[in-house]
Structure 1
């Protein structure tokens, strides 16, 4: 009887908080924060780890408890994707600096920004493998 009560409690909690699911990410201050990613390497590691957790849950039967687990872990996935997006934006800026620097024969800028771009993009490529 206890699992049934627990299932009902989780389902009720989820139902009561359903309106906040539709709220924007910034409006979710009363929810879980998820694991933060300070840099691209952490974001890629979190993405890999939490994608695996999500896949494992999705491979089984979905229950109210599993839905609650999914709800919690998506915050870490969202954090990871946001960090990756920020890092890709930085890579695009660095690559644009390399592009413009090459047109202007700005050897120092091309060398510095090119190295920064290569380091970051290599992390991304390794994370995709």
Structure 2
């Protein structure tokens, strides 16, 4: 009976200590991506950093680094996603204007589309 009580106490202690570790996660802001070029640069740089960490052993230290890197990557992806949604709307304006031979809209919105799209590729 004493052994059963000790095992039960040990299991309870380990359960609560595991819970403490799981809830003590530190959150970071990550590097900001305020513009599309900044987001693209951060995305590229931090993907390289993530790849380098993942090429090694995924130790607790490496996992912490992955955790920190993910914040900047999430910021970059969020900005790129927002910009790509807007870019798709601009391209749709170009598309519709081309169907109706609206040269003014194609010229204006086409230029806006190309300016933004070129920020994605270098």
Q: 1:62 aligns with which of 58, 65, 75?
A: 58
Cα displacement string for residues 4-34 of structure 1 (whole angstroms, at most 9, x for unaligned residues): xxxxxxxx8x93337x7xxxxxxxxx72111
TM-score of the superposed pair, with normalisation by structure 2: 0.76
RMSD: 2.2
Q: Would you identify which runs of 4 or more consecutive aligned residues in structure 1 move more than 6 Å? A: none
The residue correspondences of 1:1-129 to structure 2 (distance < 5 A) are 15-17=21-23, 31-126=27-122
Please report the TM-score for the alignment, with normalisation by the length of structure 1.
Answer: 0.72
Looking at CA atoms only, which structure, 1 or 2, has the larger radius of gyration?
A: 2
C-alpha distance in structure 2 between counterparts of 1:60 and 1:54, whole Å: 10
Deviations 1:36-95 (Å, cap 9, x if unpaired)?
111110011001110111111111111111111110110100111111111111110000
Q: Give the Å deviation of 1:105.
A: 2.7
Unmatched 5+ stretches in structure 1: 1-11, 21-29
CA distance in 2, matches of 1:71, 1:15: 15
